[in-house]
A and B are shown apart, each in its own frame.
Chain A
Amino acid sequence: MIVVSPSPHIHSGKSSDFLMWQVVLALMPVLAAAVWNFGIPAAFIVGVCLLSCLVTEWVIDKLTGRANTLRDGSAVITALLLAFNLPSILPWWMAVIGSVVAIGIGKMSFGGLGCNIWNPALVGRVFLLISFPAAMTTWPVDIPSGIDGMTGATVLSYMNSAPDAVSHVNMLDMAVGKMNGSLGETGAVAILIGAVYLLIRGVITWHIPVSVLLSAAIFSWLFGGNPLVDLLAGGLMLGACFMATDYVTSPMTRLGQVIFGACIGLITIIIRRYGAYPEGVSFAILLMNSFVPLINRYTRPVVFGQRERRSMDKVTGKGVRS
């Protein structure tokens, strides 16, 4: 039978499922780096998060009578990103709580994919960070660290208390992840590989990652820090490339995305320097997520010819017609 539909009759073929699974694929190098750096416990935490995120989403789908949404891949991304934001020695039940909060409160309570205001993985992480501050900032002690006597602390927490010691940090170790931190935060090289892949496949654009990293580097330098340390330490790389770029919770226009990214960089550095927490990327992204509607409102694209219309009306003395 003949099909009748309004134009356009062709489609680019790129579906949201495809884009989501591309992100999952891009996260694989990060996963590999996490396992390489932290060993089996890392793989265990990732597994726990995956399982509990998927089960949570499935149960909520069932309870609300919606179609199964597991296949769209967004729950997998949330699970991976959440796991990458946890220390490898976190008790497993905390990871489960984090997953339930991330999916249940962070995403599904708003109406599911596309409706949430905040990045679900970060909602989960911040929930855990506030509920279990000790466990969330306890890092494995047997990891070779860049600085003597820094076992059990991250570069950032050390920097917060004794900034002078930072000069001893080995940049190369930081880049490949031989330092303390959450699972996925430590392998800057792996993160960059994933990000470049996403850029090449056109899944994300450069605007957000570049503006986050650039602004963090600039403000780090302005506040008298070492920009390279700030870029490589903590969750900045992961946040800039994978969490700030989350479609749902980032602005809709290019200009808005740049403003969004720049503010994340600024807030991160401010929290790192002056805040009570050693790390501020999560808070910075969540904070800016809240501002997205406002940014969208003020960076609206100009309708083609609207400016010309106004100037023409001014000349001819007609009222501006919207």
Chain B
Amino acid sequence: MSTILTSIIVCGCIGIIAAIILYFAAKRFAVKEDPLVGEVEALLPGANCGGCGYSGCAAFARACVSAGSMEGLYCTGMDEEGMQRVASLLGMQAGEHRRKVAVIRCSASCDIREVKNIYEGLHSCASAAGLYQGMIDCVYGCLGLGDCVKACPFGAMSIRPGETLPEVDPDKCTGCGRCFEACPRALPMILPVGDTGSLTWVTCANRDRGPVAMKECNRSCIGCGICKKSCLHEAVTLETYLATINAEKCQNCGECIKSCPRHCISKITI
């Protein structure tokens, strides 16, 4: 009996002492923060993707709370409804936002790419790009080792088994830009979706001269300029043998896609 009693007393004392220490420690080291920040953060996806331009969800929440209006503050990981919830919590209106998604500027999937060598080494695009041109002759194209897939915090990127070219799931993609940063060749582009819910882009990043580019890949942009001529909205520009479509001007009419002799312009509808 006395053993049990002693145990209870000793444990109780330790508990009380610890509680007192913790109480004062909590007081002494308390971090003062607006409770609103925590509430806002709870509404955010918590992926810390950085798509909003802040270092993470907590930083974004602080920015929201201290901001006068929601203009320019937008979490790419949420739909408009979610953003409106955040805004109304803070007594403001959600800012205008145009949805952005990532698209890949390369179309060298396995049936198109002509593999010239075998890469054996760290399974990382950055490592391969630091070493050499890659498995295909095009030094601008996708290396196919999936750094973008690993970087995507939303699971929107995937490489199908037996394939090397990553695909973007536009429903999951928030346009945060992590894939762009991870890619040693900057192939993923974050583009705003057009009013019709469509997006047209050039699926190539090759800047070699036409004849060279022609040899390197079946789907390379050779800078012929046909798309530029066919465009009704002056959205196509040509620079160092590569066509680029200005997403702001593009009306997604699809004229360029029809005209491109190299089949290197694509369109998705979300």
Contact = CB atoms under 8 A, between A and B. Distances in A.
Contacts of A6: 121-122, 127, 131
Interface string B93-129: 0000000000000000000000111111110000100
Interface in B164-222: none
A5 interface: yes
Interface string A1-41: 11111100000000000000000000000000000000000
A4 B131 CA distance: 9
A4 B132 CA distance: 8
B119 to A, nearest CB: 6
B118 A3 contact: yes
A2 B121 contact: no
A4 B115 contact: no
A9 to B, nearest CB: 10
A2 B118 contact: yes
B113 to A, nearest CB: 13
Contacts of A5: 119-121, 131
- Report whether over half of chain B's contact residues are helix, strand or loop; otherwise say mixed: loop
A217 B116 CA distance: 63
A3 B118 CA distance: 5
A4 B129 CA distance: 12
The bracket for how many chain B residues form the interface is: 10 to 19
A1 B116 contact: yes
A4 B120 CA distance: 6
A1 B127 contact: no
Contacts, number: 24
Contacts of B116: 1-2
B99 to A, nearest CB: 36
A62 B118 CA distance: 31
Nearest to A9: B120
A3 B116 CA distance: 9
A4 B116 CA distance: 10
Contacts of B115: 1
Nearest to B118: A3
Contacts of A3: 117-118, 120
Contacts of A4: 117-120, 131-132
Contacts of B117: 1-4
A5 B116 CA distance: 14
B218 to A, nearest CB: 19
A5 B120 CA distance: 5
A234 B198 CA distance: 76
Interface in A112-126: none
Nearest to A4: B117
Interface in B228-256: none
A54 to B, nearest CB: 30
Nearest to B115: A1
A48 B118 CA distance: 46
Contacts of B132: 4
A181 to B, nearest CB: 37
Contacts of A1: 115-118
B116 to A, nearest CB: 7
Contacts of B118: 1-4
A3 B117 CA distance: 6
A200 B70 CA distance: 72
A6 B123 CA distance: 12
Which residue, A3, A4, A5, A6, has most C-beta atoms of chain B within 10 A? A4
A122 to B, nearest CB: 32
A165 B131 CA distance: 71
B124 to A, nearest CB: 11
A2 B131 CA distance: 15
B24 to A, nearest CB: 31
A156 B115 CA distance: 68
A4 to B, nearest CB: 5
A1 B127 CA distance: 21
A76 B115 CA distance: 42
A82 to B, nearest CB: 36
24 contacts: A1-B115, A1-B116, A1-B117, A1-B118, A2-B116, A2-B117, A2-B118, A3-B117, A3-B118, A3-B120, A4-B117, A4-B118, A4-B119, A4-B120, A4-B131, A4-B132, A5-B119, A5-B120, A5-B121, A5-B131, A6-B121, A6-B122, A6-B127, A6-B131
Given A3-B118, A4-B117, A4-B120, 13 more contacts: A1-B115, A1-B117, A1-B118, A2-B116, A2-B118, A4-B118, A4-B131, A5-B119, A5-B120, A5-B131, A6-B121, A6-B122, A6-B127
Interface of A: 1-6
Interface of B: 115-122, 127, 131-132
